Amino acid sequence: MIADDQALLRGSFRLLVESDPDLAVVGEAADGEAAVAATRAAVPDVVLMDLRMPVLDGIEATRRICADPALAGVRVLVLTMFDGDEYVHPALRAGASGFLLKDTPPADLVAAIRIVAAGEGMLSPTVTRRLIADFAARCTTADPAAGPPMVHSGLSGVTDREREVLTLVARGLSNGEVAQRLRLSLPTVKTHVSHLLTKLGVRDRVHLVIAAYESGLVVARDS
């Protein structure tokens, strides 16, 4: 589902998505309120969400989508013009699973849709480290603009091995890199990541990273 207030961009995204035989656009919306309604009607795998829209902005639309139990399988991929967009942090807190710039190469956008649909998180590689570090800094301040902390169950039920895995995931390592670093098999790492998602009550890998920072397991200077 594509949510953007510019018809030209919606049309361009539709052409790009539907150029792939495995993907289809099931709905469009020109404002946040319409995006929520269209998502509830179509229940897509992924919503491409613009943040600056009329009636209801993309942050609140993302929050409503991610808070709806009937849409638990829907992932929101945020698209924005600016890597320093002040809306990105609140969007991640609202439940967005990915963040890409609108000038991302077409092939990378299609790949990101697949990654997010598979339950992984996707952050623009050009801003990931700065974004997470900035997000972590906000988590340690009382800045009201940062918004409320994400709700997760803490690390009380997490094993020592899972903490090791989570620390490396938060530092940006892939499953394969984690496996190599800890001398584990790839299926074992995937199992640990799956257990972490369940134990921390988060939606995807992006929110595992955020939970690691919010819990204090990883701090900005560590990365």
How confident is the model over 134-183, as pLDDT tens digits? 655 665 554 544 454 444 456 778 899 999 999 888 877 778 889 999 99
Assess contact for 176 and 219: CB atoms under 8 A. no
Contacts of 189 (CB under 8 A, 6+ apart): 165, 175, 176, 178, 179, 182
* Residue 20 confidence (pLDDT) above 60: yes
Residues 32/53, Cβ–Cβ less than 8 Å: yes
For CATH 3.40.50.2300, list the domain ranges present in the chain. Answer: 2-126
Lowest mean pLDDT among 16-25, 108-117, 213-222: 213-222
**Residues in Cβ contact with 59 at an 8 Å cutoff, skipping those fewer than 6 apart:** 51, 87, 90, 91, 94
pLDDT of 11 reads 94
The predicted model gives 20-35 an average pLDDT of: 95
Residues of the chain with CATH 1.10.10.10: 160-222
- Kindly tell me if the per-residue pLDDT of 23 is higher than 70: yes
pLDDT at 18 over 70: yes
Strands 28-29 and 98-101, by their bridges, are unpaired
Which residue(s) pair with 76 in the sheet?
Answer: 47
Q: What is the pLDDT of residues 76-135, one digit of tens each?
A: 998 887 655 566 778 877 888 888 888 888 888 898 898 888 876 666 544 455 555 565
pLDDT of residue 136: 57
Q: Which fold has domain 160-222?
A: Arc Repressor Mutant, subunit A (1.10.10)
CATH tag for 2-126 (out of 3.40.50.300, 3.40.50.1000, 3.40.50.2300, 3.40.50.970): 3.40.50.2300
CB 4, CB 38: distance < 8 Å? no
